Amino acid sequence: ALCNELRILRHLRHPNIVLIHGAIINEERRMICLVLELVHGTTLGKFIQGGPDNLARYQIMTGVCQALIYMHSRTPHIVHGDIKSGNVMVEIAGGEARPKLLDFGLS
């Protein structure tokens, strides 16, 4: 799953998609470790429990939709395959709720 995620993420550059900085490969142990952008926030599920206002809800939905439009406009199309509240991080920056889509292992 990590090889697939690495293959997908290394080509994606969008403000609402987590950025990949690189990977560490240990051939002896047959392991791959992704080095991803640090998102200062919480999962969408936990964020929603806090009762965000309508503006924050709108910003989150718009951001996720923009990320999906970007992915689906790629050639070939990229389908996330596992969008759920645990795979969306929300950070607050400049008073705005900014979602970051992550975990492309099932794409």
Q: Quick: pLDDT tens for 62-95.
A: 999 999 999 999 887 888 888 999 999 999 989 8
Please tell me which residue in 3, 15, 72, 82 is annotated as part of the active site: 82
**Phi–psi pair at 97, nearest 5 degrees:** -85, 120
Q: Which domains does the chain have, with CATH numbers?
A: 2-101 (1.10.510.10)
Top-confidence residue, 17 or 30: 17
Percent of the residues in the chain that have a pLDDT greater than 90, as a whole number:
59
Give all strands of the β-sheet with 42-43 in edge-to-edge order. Answer: 42-43, 88-93, 96-101
82 an active-site residue?
yes
Q: What is the pLDDT of residue 105?
A: 63
Q: How far is CA 58 from the centre of its chain?
A: 17
